[in-house]
């Protein structure tokens, strides 16, 4: 499974236009997430995206950020594995 972590940099909270755009981007991500079960929300502007099932989500988020000149980072993963610590030591593949 091919996946990507997408992080949109929203550090400049003093910029009104950036705040408005980030609000629109987050609203779009929230509305699209229900259509794409291969998306995990990792933070307010960070998502783990299964590229095999949710490529349109990836395209919309990165496209919106790019058009608004908002910096973003993408890390591509071949097969992400989550290791659970605490109760049990089971590894879960997303």
- Give the DSSP letter of residue 28: H
pLDDT value for 46 = 96
The H-or-E segment that residue 87 falls in is none
pLDDT value for 90 = 52
CA distance 85 to 11: 30
Three-state DSSP class for residue 67: helix
Distance from the Cα of residue 83 to its chain's centroid: 20
pLDDT value for 29 = 95
Q: Where are the domains of the chain?
A: 3-93
Class of domain 3-93: alpha beta
CA distance 21 to 1: 31
Three-state DSSP class for residue 17: helix
Provide the residue-wise pLDDT of the chain in tens; the chain has 94 residues: 699 999 998 776 567 677 788 899 999 999 999 999 999 999 999 999 999 999 999 999 999 999 988 889 999 998 766 667 765 555 455 4
Of 79, 5, 74, nearest to 43 by C-alpha is 5
What is this structure's pTM?
0.77
Per DSSP bridges, beta strands 3-8 and 72-77 are antiparallel
């Amino acid at each position: 499974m091919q996946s990507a972590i997408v992080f949109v940099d929203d550090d400049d909270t003093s910029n009104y236009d950036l705040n408005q755009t980030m609000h629109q981007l987050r609203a779009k991500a929230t509305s699209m997430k229900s259509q794409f079960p291969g998306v995990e929300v990792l933070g307010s502007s960070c998502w783990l995206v299964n590229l095999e099932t949710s490529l349109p989500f990836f395209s919309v988020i990165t496209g919106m950020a790019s058009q608004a000149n908002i910096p973003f980072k993408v890390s591509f993963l071949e097969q992400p594995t989550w290791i659970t610590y605490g109760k049990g030591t089971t590894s879960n593949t997303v």
